[in-house]
């Protein structure tokens, strides 16, 4: 009996963009459809990942990570600056012994 509230997990959609022969130097030409779909441009760095046992690999455009890592770095750096500023403000507000009446 199926639960009315349960939903099927969406299946990952696999798209074949083309094929590319590997040259004797290990080079390939990335199919134009894939370059366009993934915004791969001349000079971009690609990251190859995969599981050797599965026979599958993935290609990621390293440039797509630059924005993410920059945003993350800014978020962490700005948070650290705000925390440091808050600590400094707390130290300034701490009463001295004379103000405390001791």
Nearest of 30, 9, 11, 7 to residue 20 by alpha carbon: 30
Phi, psi at 16, each rounded to 5°: -95, 120
pLDDT at 32: 95
> What does each of the 102 residues of the chain score in pLDDT, given as a tens digit?
555 556 777 777 888 999 999 999 999 999 999 999 888 999 999 988 898 898 888 888 888 777 777 777 777 777 666 777 777 777 766 555 555 555
- Report how far apart, in Å, the C-alpha atoms of 65 and of each of 23, 58, 61, 69, 101 are: 29, 15, 7, 6, 56
pLDDT at 94: 57
Those residues with Cβ within 8 angstroms of residue 50's Cβ, 6 or more apart along the chain or in another chain: 56, 57, 58
pTM: 0.51
């Amino acid at each position: 009996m199926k639960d009315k509230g349960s939903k099927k997990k969406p299946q990952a959609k696999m798209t074949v963009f083309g094929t590319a022969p590997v040259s004797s130097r290990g080079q390939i030409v990335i199919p134009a459809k894939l370059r366009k779909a993934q915004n791969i441009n001349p000079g971009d760095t690609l990251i190859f990942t995969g599981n050797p046992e599965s026979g599958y690999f993935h290609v990621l455009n390293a440039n797509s990570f630059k924005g993410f890592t920059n945003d993350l770095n800014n978020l962490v750096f700005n948070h650290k600056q705000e925390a440091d500023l808050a600590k400094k403000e707390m130290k300034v507000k701490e009463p001295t012994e004379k103000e405390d009446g001791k």
